[in-house]
Amino acid sequence: RNENGNGSNCAVMRRDRLPSTRMNESVNLWSILRSNIGKDLSKVAMPVQLNEPLNTLQRLCEEVEYCHLLDTAANTHDPHMRMVYIAAFAVSAYACSFTRAGGKPFNPILGETYECLRQDKGFRFIAEQVSHHPPVSACHCESKNYTFWQDVRWKNKFWGKSMEIVPMGVTHLELFGDRYEWSKVTSCIHNILSGQRWIEHYGEMSIKHSTTTGDVSHCKVTFLKSRSGALNANEVEGMVTDSNGRVIHSLFGKWNEALYLGKPPSATCIWRANPMPEDHEQYYGFTQFAIELNELEEGLKALLPLTDTRFRPDQRLLEEGDIAGAEEQKERIEVLQRERRRVLQENNMTHSPRFFKRAEDDSWVSNGTYWDLRKDPGFSKLEIPVLW
Ligand code: PIF
């Protein structure tokens, strides 16, 4: 068990199971929603029972599970084929959500951070909660082949039977100087109050490619809305076009299963979702990659800043199946956060994120200090705010 960033290449043994199964939900979501009609739901403290033992910073990291597509893209010279792999990567980010309509991620505390160093996958990832109201999470992921960054913020629309989550912000990717940008589609949780919850994504994703010499290619991916009784659930369609708008490649598939290039029956599979772990239904519908995200390996403890999600006690207690303990800790941590906000307000101060800064276009980008500080002098030697 050694993947601590000190140059060791030892293989890491990761857990293949969460410590505890999900408990049956006994929350009356309707009574919570009813007493908050018209209110911004991100300002309502929700019972911990609605949560899964991961937070939104870790959910952003899940989007890079299929990063091998970016490595392939980086090694593909033809710009239109490269776009095919990038489109597959953008679609693959949704795969994990298929089994996850049951719970919501923890809302990170302002200043909470998360790192994920995966030498086996060739990337290092950091994320930070940069705003509390509205909740904004920023992340930055780099490898020898690419840099990927985004900041995410949602608008919730509660429709009674369902809830729409409209994401805002742009996803950025850089491959050897080439820039790609896209935004996310709308997600909808159906049967939010009763019955089996399920999740749907719909809308158009437009992936723009630009180089210093101008626009080269473009890809439009449509996430289709399901019609009841129809067999087209989770379908996506895509088109890669050149700078003249001519269609070069077409794509089709399902965001939860696979993406194909070409037309049936002679299509090539570009991406396929990994098989789900056994008993995943009892374990929050987590993929193997998700199971690994909140694992606190012995070797990591001394290296992480204390703001890292892995140290957050309420999320850890939920993971261990202690709902009452988790609820108590969640409330305690929220009180501490309100206290810090009050002190800032009284002193006419605003919070500044530690590892991210605002870019000219108002997006959040890494300030490039995380991994250097981790190495020298090390987070244990630095003053780190106490969040919990
Ligand atoms: C608390 O967050 P919760 C609230 O923000 C509360 O206002 C705040 O107190 P303060 C607390 O400190 C917070 O801990 C509420 C809200 C958070 C998100 C965005 O964790 C992601 O209690 C949503 O949650 C993605 O949750 C959902 O917003 C994907 O985390 C599924 O609005 C929601 C979610 C709506 C419920 C969906 C239920 C689905 C099963 O005093 O500082 O204001």
Q: Kindly report, residue by residue over 35-70, the tens digit of the pLDDT.
A: 887 788 899 999 999 999 999 999 999 999 999 999
The closest of 304, 244, 365, 381 to 3, measured between CA atoms, is 304
* Distance set, CA 155 to CA 41, 131, 378 (Å): 9, 14, 37
Give the residue, by CA position, lying nearest to ligand 1 atom 38: 104
What gap in Å lies between CA 345 and CA 342, rounded to an integer?
A: 5
Q: Residue 128 C-alpha to ligand 1 middle, in angstroms?
A: 16
Q: Residue 46 C-alpha to ligand 1 middle, in angstroms?
A: 6
DSSP letters for 118-136: ETTTTEEEEEEEEETTTTE
* Pocket lining: 337 vs ligand 1, CB cutoff 6 Å: yes
ipTM of predicted assembly, 2 dp = 0.93
pLDDT values of the chain reduced to their tens digit, one per residue, 388 residues: 444 554 444 578 899 999 999 988 788 888 888 888 778 889 999 999 999 999 999 999 999 999 999 999 999 999 999 999 999 999 999 999 999 988 999 999 999 999 999 999 999 999 999 999 999 999 999 999 999 999 999 998 888 888 999 999 999 999 998 999 999 999 999 998 888 899 999 999 999 998 877 767 899 999 999 877 566 799 999 999 998 999 999 999 999 999 999 998 899 999 999 999 999 999 999 999 999 999 999 999 999 999 999 999 999 999 999 999 999 999 999 999 999 999 999 999 999 999 999 999 999 999 999 999 999 999 999 999 999 9
- Which of 27, 58, 107 is the pocket-test mutation for ligand 1 (most atoms within 8 Å of CB)? 107
Q: Residue 78 C-alpha to ligand 1 middle, in angstroms?
A: 44
The closest of 342, 383, 375, 349 to 117, measured between CA atoms, is 375
Q: Which residues contact 222 (CB under 8 A, 6 or more apart)?
A: 203, 204, 205, 236, 237, 238
Query: Which regions of 255-367 does DSSP assign to beta strands (E)?
Result: 258-261, 268-272, 356-358, 364-366
What gap in Å lies between CA 253 and CA 2, rounded to an integer?
A: 38
Domain ranges of the chain: 29-181+298-381
Q: Which two tokens stand for residue 241?
A: 């076009």
Q: What pLDDT is attached to residue 308? A: 98
- 304-329 per-position pLDDT tens digit: 999 999 999 999 999 999 999 999 99
Ligand 1: nearest atom to the Cα of 330: 14
Give the residue, by CA position, lying nearest to ligand 1 atom 4: 45
* Pocket lining: 27 vs ligand 1, CB cutoff 6 Å: no
End-to-end CA distance of the chain: 27
Q: Does residue 285 come out as left (phi exceeding 0), alpha (psi in the -120 to 50 range) or beta?
A: left
DSSP 293: H
Paired residues of 357 in beta bridges: 365
Give the residue, by CA position, lying nearest to ligand 1 atom 29: 104
What gap in Å lies between CA 60 and CA 101, rounded to an integer?
A: 16
- Which of 25, 46, 109 is the pocket-test mutation for ligand 1 (most atoms within 8 Å of CB)? 46
Q: Residue 68 C-alpha to ligand 1 middle, in angstroms?
A: 32
